[in-house]
Amino acid sequence: MTLPASVHIVEVGPRDGLQNEPNWVDTATKISLIQRLGQAGLKTIEATAFVSPKRVPQMSDSSVVLSGITRLPGVTYPVLTPNLKGFEAARAAGAREIAVFGAASESFSQKNIQCSVAESIERFRPVVDAARQDGVVVRGYLSCVIDCPYEGAISPAKVADTARQLFELGCEEISLGDTIGTGTPERVKRMIEAVSAHIPINRLAGHFHDTYGMAIANIYAVLQMGIATFDASVAGLGGCPYAPGASGNVATEDVVWLMNGLGIDTGIDLAKLVETSAWISHQLKRPVGSKVGKALHHSAV
Ligand code: HMG
Ligand code: MG
């Protein structure tokens, strides 16, 4: 398999990265993070989530964040919308791209969005229909594509079936989430094989949390299968509030380093990204959670 000439990195730090942050992050800091990521060359920056503020308090300023961004040309700023209420609020704040989010695990679906997998598909249907009517692009996330924190292993067949339902609903891209980061390359490849029997591989994205340090290995494995869109979070920020023990997404810097080494274009300025990684880590008063970010930041000072 020849590797692609370029890959698309979807930066999820401002949403997946910050949603689980226990201390309140100022709205101005969130907006500044999004601006800096745009200046570093990220073309898709998931900005925030229009979810229940009782469930995810850190995202309660979503309208102010989204309407406060100075949009850069060629950059998109998708947001999470679990239901019509979220969709309407997102549109009112200027959203032009949205994402619905479901799970391949019943227990995770119940914990995360308070409904069964089948109910979630019915809840998303009017959201996707309304979005498509407005010309809004919809992504579908699927969580627990490898393991569920409550149920253990999820079968590739169940993942493939739920992914297919999201795709048939009208989601243009399906992001496959290894929510707790337990995946290893051969398991991940089996899951992608099952899903790609129903959905063209160029409509799939990899969303790897790095809890066990396997995300880069998994990305390299599925890159060779034809996946060319990867979600990542600057400085490796994050974790899911409904996935106990889950640490952050794979760090954007680590993915860019991998792609640079493979001669694959990302369009991202690694030096600016590393600066942003150091900046946000400083704001959050924590060490940089990316190996590449740490190494390059130290070598720059
Ligand atoms: P529910 O309790 O079934 O909703 O929650 P409801 O319709 O019965 O409403 C309950 C209350 O929530 C009401 O308020 C609604 O107004 C309010 P109250 O009357 O009690 O004051 N509400 C809302 N408020 C703001 N925006 C909304 C909204 N909807 C209802 N959109 C619901 C269902 C989905 C709303 C809730 O469970 C929720 O918001 N969950 C959010 C979960 C979340 O954000 N999780 C993290 C993101 S997913 C993730 O991280 C995984 C991913 O990264 C991939 C991976 O790694 O696997 C994507
Ligand atoms: Mg995630």
Q: Is the pLDDT of residue 220 over 60?
A: yes
Q: Is the pLDDT of residue 216 over 70?
A: yes
pLDDT digits (tens, 9 = 90+) for 56-104: 999 999 999 999 999 999 999 999 999 999 999 999 999 999 999 999 9
Residues above pLDDT 90, as percent of the chain: 92
CA of 241 to the centre of ligand 2 (A): 10
- Helix-strand-coil split of the chain, %, nearest 5: 45, 15, 40
Q: Is the pLDDT of residue 276 over 90?
A: yes
Largest CA distance in the chain: 52
Q: Is the pLDDT of residue 298 over 90?
A: no
DSSP string, 122-179: HHHHHHHHHHHHTT-EEEEEEE-SSEETTTEE--HHHHHHHHHHHHHHT-SEEEEEET
pLDDT at 239: 63
Residues above pLDDT 70, as percent of the chain: 96
97 strand-pairing partners: 137
Q: Is the pLDDT of residue 133 over 80?
A: yes
CB 256 within 8 A of CB 268: yes
The reply to whether ligand 1 has any atom less than 6 angstroms from the CB of 114 is: yes
User: Of 145, 293, 295, which is closest to residue 232 (Cα–Cα)?
Assistant: 293
pLDDT at 2: 86
Query: Atom 15 of ligand 1 has which residue's CA nearest to it?
Result: 52
Q: What is the mean pLDDT of residues 274-284?
A: 96
| Cα–Cα distance measured from residue 292 to residue 214, given in angstroms and rounded to the nearest whole number | 15
The reply to whether ligand 1 has any atom less than 6 angstroms from the CB of 42 is: no
pLDDT digits (tens, 9 = 90+) for 147-177: 999 999 999 999 999 999 999 999 999 999 9
pLDDT at 247: 79
More reliable by pLDDT, 147 or 239: 147
Instruction: Tell me which ligand sits closest to the C-alpha of residue 140.
Output: 1
Domain ranges of the chain: 8-300
Active site residues: 240
Q: Is the pLDDT of residue 301 over 60?
A: no
Radius of gyration for the alpha carbons in the chain, expressed in angstroms and rounded: 17
Q: Is the pLDDT of residue 246 over 90?
A: no
Instruction: Tell me which ligand sits closest to the C-alpha of residue 114.
Output: 1
| Cα–Cα distance measured from residue 36 to residue 279, given in angstroms and rounded to the nearest whole number | 10
Phi, psi of 123 (to 5 degrees): -70, -35
Is 231 in a helix, a strand, or coil?
strand
pLDDT digits (tens, 9 = 90+) for 221-234: 999 999 999 999 99
Q: Pull the structure tokens for residue 280.
A: 């946000």
The reply to whether ligand 1 has any atom less than 6 angstroms from the CB of 16 is: yes
Tell me the pLDDT band of 300, cut-offs 50, 70 and 90.
low
Tell me the pLDDT band of 245, cut-offs 50, 70 and 90.
low
State the average pLDDT for the chain: 96
| Cα–Cα distance measured from residue 140 to residue 146, given in angstroms and rounded to the nearest whole number | 17
pLDDT at 238: 87
Tell me the pLDDT band of 41, cut-offs 50, 70 and 90.
very high
Q: Pull the structure tokens for residue 292.
A: 């590449």
Q: Domain 8-300 carries which CATH code?
A: 3.20.20.70
DSSP string, 26-89: PHHHHHHHHHHHHHTT-SEE--EE---TTT-GGGTTHHHHHHH--PPTT-B--EE--SHHHHHH
CA of 2 to the centre of ligand 2 (A): 28
pLDDT at 241: 63
Tell me the pLDDT band of 198, cut-offs 50, 70 and 90.
very high
